[in-house]
């Protein structure tokens, strides 16, 4: 995969790898524009799954656990440019289409976030279903 090669190319700096590094950055950018993804490197754990192409914006300071499942048209980011705090999402979380997770929130592992939910505060109990505007536990 392009991202895996990109990580490996960061190990030994030399002229050839620098050129290759720039090529991989360019390729990653072009794929992001084509598919509508804005996912920075090293913000998601292994096993991230995105089911639909479309607008997916993830802040570079956000942390997403392993085996998360994301549907299209989601935003995971900070509240304002002045506030650096970004969401921390646990393992095995499902994020429905159109969901917005904004600010310094923490989502526990094994949760499901419903479609079009707006999450602005933390949910620390595992295995909960979260939905609504503003988001709340529904089960």
Judgement on whether residues 22 and 60 belong to the same structural domain of the protein = no
Q: What is the average per-residue pLDDT within 73-92?
A: 87
- For residues 4-27, give the mean pLDDT: 72
Do 57 and 45 lie in a common domain? yes
Same domain for 26 and 49, yes or no, is: no
Residues 53 and 22 in one domain: no
What's the whole-number mean pLDDT along residues 112-131? 94
The domain in which residue 47 lies consists of 37-137
Q: Based on the structure, what is the number of domains in the chain?
A: 2
68 with 14, same domain: the answer is: no
Least confident of 17-21, 46-50, 64-68: 17-21
Provide the mean pLDDT of the chain: 85
pTM value?
A: 0.76
- Among the ranges given (20-24, 50-54, 83-87, 113-117), the one the predictor scored with the smallest mean pLDDT: 50-54
Q: What whole-number distance in Å separates Cα of residue 6 and Cα of residue 118?
A: 33
Decide which of 57 and 4 is more confident.
57
23 Cβ contact list (under 8 Å, min separation 6):
none
Residues 90 and 132 in one domain: yes
43: its two tokens: 């913000």
């Amino acid at each position: 995969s392009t991202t895996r090669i990109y990580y490996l190319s960061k190990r030994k700096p030399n002229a050839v790898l620098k050129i290759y590094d720039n090529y991989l950055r360019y390729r990653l950018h072009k794929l992001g524009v084509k598919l509508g993804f804005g996912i920075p490197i090293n913000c998601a754990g292994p096993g991230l799954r995105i089911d639909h192409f479309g607008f997916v914006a993830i802040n570079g300071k956000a942390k997403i656990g392993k085996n998360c499942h994301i549907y299209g048209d989601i935003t995971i980011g900070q509240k304002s440019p002045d506030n650096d705090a970004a969401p921390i999402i646990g393992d095995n979380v499902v994020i429905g289409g159109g969901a917005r997770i904004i600010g310094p929130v923490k989502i526990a592992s094994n949760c499901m976030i419903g479609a079009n939910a707006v999450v602005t505060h933390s949910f620390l109990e595992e295995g909960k279903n979260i939905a609504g505007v503003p988001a709340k536990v529904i089960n």
